[in-house]
Amino acid sequence: MSDRPSPPTTTDQSIVGDNIIFGGIHGSFNQTTTHIYGVSHASLKLTLPLRRDPKTLNETQRLVARNQWLTFQGQNTLFADFHNWMENDDPISVRVLHGPGGRGKTRFAIQLCHKVVEASANRWSAGLASHDALSLFLAGGRVLGCWWEKPTLVVIDYAASVSDDLKNLLNLILHCRSNDLPRLRILLLERHADIHHGWVKDLFRHSLDMEHESDALLVDTGVIGLPDMTLEERLAIFEETLKISQNIVIAEGERDILRTQMGQVPWASEPLYLAMAGQLAADMGATAVLSLSQGRVALERSEREGARIQQFADPQNKDQRILLPHLAAYATLCSGFSQDELRQQVALDETTAIGRTGAGSPAQLADLLCAAMPGNQNMAAPVEPDIIGNGLMLHFLGCGNAKISEGAAQRAYQKVGLKAISRMILAAQDYAHIGDENATIHAKLQAPLQWLRAVIDSHRDNLTILEEISTLFPPYSVAMSELQAWLDRLILQHLQTDGDTKDNFAEVRLAKQARILNNYSGRLGYAGHTEKALAAAEKAVTILQELAQNRPDASLPNLAMSLNNMANRLSELGRREEALAAAEKAVNINQKLAQNGPDAFLPNLAMSLSNMAKSLGELGRHEEALAAA
């Protein structure tokens, strides 16, 4: 036991940049209050992380964005654009920055916060608001007037998972009545974002539909993708990783070879993958690691993290060496555990479920896991970055046994609910779309889909749970389209068979059916089932046409969306005249809606016009298509 690594000592080296910036009326909950300008405030805490010394971090911690291990590369054009956004005359503005996992969204946001604070000589407050901090602030009750004291930038990561809290936050913002507000900028980060679909559409429609009096309040519905890096920027990240990790300097001649190779590797546009590859290159060689697939890079690096965690186990205790990485994967799936939770229940439950009863006492396992994955306040924290944590789950959840891992996924859902579902979806987004020629590796990459299917199947009779799970999926995902379509079918079966068609809730169920059918059509289209996708879209249109007769305000926007969807499906089947007719109907509806509510419906009208232009172009009516576009 003496050869095992000792638990690392950790200190929280992040700072709080203007720690308390939002002041609400203090509610009846337990929260520390801070006085700013002589007023007692409930607070939204913003943290602005400082760069940590790489020598104090293990290999995986070095990859975490907030530790700022690597020098930030490039994005000068984007920084300039965001500078203009910060300084424009709009008192309040919201933006969404999206990009795949590992693209560098969080690192960009942290750099932006530092630039804002430094350039303004602390005139601005800027930092990241955690999900817990946001929820705690919103629990503080109502807010009177402007509750930010000076120009402020708030960054919220994984925004889709707190969309309800964001609606409440925008509600508070839009009810400020002062026309002389300090600037407020809210930057939302997410992997997938589309103004016309999913959480972004829902969030901004919610805010734009609200009645408010002040013309000074503006929500900028800018949805911006994080651009790729240049070849030189990619090479700089790879070189810096090698130098810091292993003190290896790339020779000038090899740099040219690597520059060429990076231009041909799709995943080399992702800074996190480049950093992981740089860490692996010390053992494998730079050229060899750049020849790996995206999935292989992430899985190799995740397996290495599992090996690091395994070093905390007794080398003479086989059960402990097998169980500890599983516990790490399970803790990551559940967003971490406190030491007490591990000691009192989790470690014993998992030891029994996995059948490794010789691994040690729950208290011993809890101590080992907290040492291997240290978090704040005696926590076993989830492994970060997410790509490595998710890869750890693929490798070690269930100790490599597919059926046992499905059972662990179901236990995780029973323990932490939708948090576990969100994590499985993230893992599927990271890995399920990649694929691999090796059957064993391919099965690992697909594991998150099997976990989700197992949880959904075990609750197929519970409509409420199915609907809750459905809201967490991205609007459209090629890798998850078949799974999402199956979930949509389960929900539709409930909606079509539950209740009396003439009761008070019949219209509500029909509206839900139409919404699910529209989504179902999109998933089927993504999966290549075009005929079935058209049939679903047609059913949605029929339902909404009926509902629009009695409740046009509630049903017409969704009818226009379903007509657009139907037009796309018809176009895919070569039925171009019918596609144009459906697109024209959608345009007519959105034109009428936009006359009464331009802020809410002009984006939908623009999408419908684009759809109609596409249909006209397919029919060779190019001048009309140009006019419509």
Whether the CA torsion 519, 525, 526, 529 is positive or negative: it is positive
97 within 8 A of 157, measured Cβ to Cβ: no
Domain identity same for 486 and 616: yes
Q: What is the pLDDT of residue 504?
A: 53
**Is 540 strand, coil or helix?**
helix
Mean pLDDT of 171-185: 74
Higher per-residue pLDDT: 36 or 357: 357
Q: What is the pLDDT of residue 423?
A: 94
In a domain, 162, yes or no: yes
Q: List beta partners, residue 197.
A: 194
Domain identity same for 270 and 211: no
Is 513's pLDDT higher than 60? yes
Domain identity same for 189 and 262: no
Is 487's pLDDT higher than 90? yes
246/233 Cα distance (integer angstroms):
20
Domain identity same for 29 and 158: yes
361/364 Cα distance (integer angstroms):
5
Closest CA to 50 of 1, 111, 4, 94: 111
Q: What is the pLDDT of residue 149?
A: 81
Long-range own/partner contacts, residues 561-566 (CB < 8 A, 24 or more apart): 561/518, 561/586, 561/604, 562/514, 562/517, 562/518, 562/537, 563/589, 564/607, 564/608, 564/611, 565/518, 565/521, 565/522, 565/537, 565/540, 566/521, 566/534, 566/537, 566/538, 566/540, 566/541
278 within 8 A of 290, measured Cβ to Cβ: no
Q: What is the DSSP string of 51-88?
A: PPPGGGS-TTGGG-GGG--SPP---HHHHHHHHHHHHS
Q: What is the pLDDT of residue 11?
A: 31
Q: What is the pLDDT of residue 28?
A: 23
In a domain, 237, yes or no: yes
Higher per-residue pLDDT: 372 or 285: 372
Q: Tell me phi and psi for residue 478, to 5 degrees.
A: -60, -45
Side chain identity at 241, as an amino acid letter?
Answer: T
Domain at 488, CATH number: 1.25.40.10
Domain identity same for 145 and 32: yes
Tally of helices (H runs) and strands (E runs) in the chain: 26, 11
Last residue of a domain, one of 292, 317, 334: 292
DSSP letter at 398? G
Q: What is the pLDDT of residue 249?
A: 72
What does the block give as tokens for 27?
A: 């509610």
Long-range own/partner contacts, residues 569-576 (CB < 8 A, 24 or more apart): 569/521, 569/525, 569/530, 569/533, 569/534, 569/537, 570/534, 571/614, 571/615, 571/618, 572/525, 572/530, 572/533, 573/530, 573/531, 573/534, 576/615, 576/618, 576/619
Q: How confident is the model at residue 29 (pLDDT cuts 50, 70, 90)?
A: very low
Mean pLDDT of 419-426: 94
Is 210's pLDDT higher than 70? no
In a domain, 468, yes or no: no
Give ∠ CA 45-66-338 in degrees, rounded to 5: 70
In a domain, 142, yes or no: yes
Q: What is the pLDDT of residue 38?
A: 25
Last residue of a domain, one of 199, 225, 251: 225
**Distances from the Cα of 275 to the Cαs of 39, 392, 445, 579, in angstroms?**
46, 17, 21, 47
Residue 123 falls in which region: left (phi positive, over 0), alpha (psi -120 to 50) or beta? alpha
In a domain, 452, yes or no: no
Please report where in the chains the tokens 């795949």 appear, as a residue: 100
Domain identity same for 51 and 178: yes
In a domain, 504, yes or no: yes
Which of 206-210, 244-248, 433-437, 509-513 is predicted with the least confidence, judged by mean pLDDT? 206-210
**Is 189 strand, coil or helix?**
strand
Q: List beta partners, residue 125.
A: 152
Domain identity same for 197 and 265: no
Query: Does this model's pTM top 0.95?
Result: no
Q: What percent of the chain has pLDDT over 90?
A: 33
Q: What is the pLDDT of residue 598?
A: 73
Q: What percent of the chain has pLDDT over 70?
A: 86
Domain identity same for 273 and 209: no
Domain identity same for 207 and 272: no
Q: What is the pLDDT of residue 18?
A: 27
Does the N-terminal peptide bond of residue 385 adopt cis geometry, omega within 30 degrees of 0?
Answer: yes
Domain identity same for 345 and 410: yes
Q: What is the mean pLDDT of the chain?
A: 82
**Is 179 strand, coil or helix?**
coil
Mean pLDDT of 382-401: 93
Last residue of a domain, one of 206, 225, 244: 225
Instruction: Of 95-104, 185-194, 331-340, 576-585, give the range with the top mean pLDDT.
Output: 331-340
In a domain, 297, yes or no: no
Instruction: Name the domain count of the chain.
Output: 4
Domain identity same for 177 and 68: yes
**pLDDT (tens digit per residue) in 65-92:** 888 887 788 888 999 999 999 988 888 8
Mean pLDDT of 323-351: 95
**pLDDT (tens digit per residue) in 83-139:** 999 988 888 888 999 988 888 899 999 999 999 999 888 889 999 998 888 888 887
Q: How many CB atoms within 10 Å of residue 226?
A: 20
Q: What is the pLDDT of residue 205?
A: 60
Element (H, E) at 526: helix 506-526
Whether the CA torsion 573, 578, 584, 590 is positive or negative: it is negative
Q: How confident is the model at residue 309 (pLDDT cuts 50, 70, 90)?
A: very high
In a domain, 131, yes or no: yes
Q: What is the pLDDT of residue 497?
A: 80
Range of the domain at 130: 14-225
Which of 199-208, 419-428, 466-475 is predicted with the least confidence, judged by mean pLDDT? 199-208
Domain at 205, CATH number: 3.40.50
**Distances from the Cα of 299 to the Cαs of 65, 292, 305, 450, 480, in angstroms?**
19, 11, 10, 18, 20
Q: Tell me phi and psi for residue 337, to 5 degrees.
A: -135, 150
Strands 14-15 and 48-49: antiparallel
**pLDDT (tens digit per residue) in 519-531:** 888 888 877 888 9
Q: How many CB atoms within 10 Å of residue 273?
A: 26
Domain identity same for 380 and 312: yes
Q: What is the pLDDT of residue 109?
A: 94
Q: What is the pLDDT of residue 196?
A: 67
Mean pLDDT of 166-174: 80
Q: List beta partners, residue 337.
A: 380
Q: Any residues with CB less than 8 A from the CB of 224 and at least 6 apart, and which? A: 78, 81, 95, 96, 97, 98
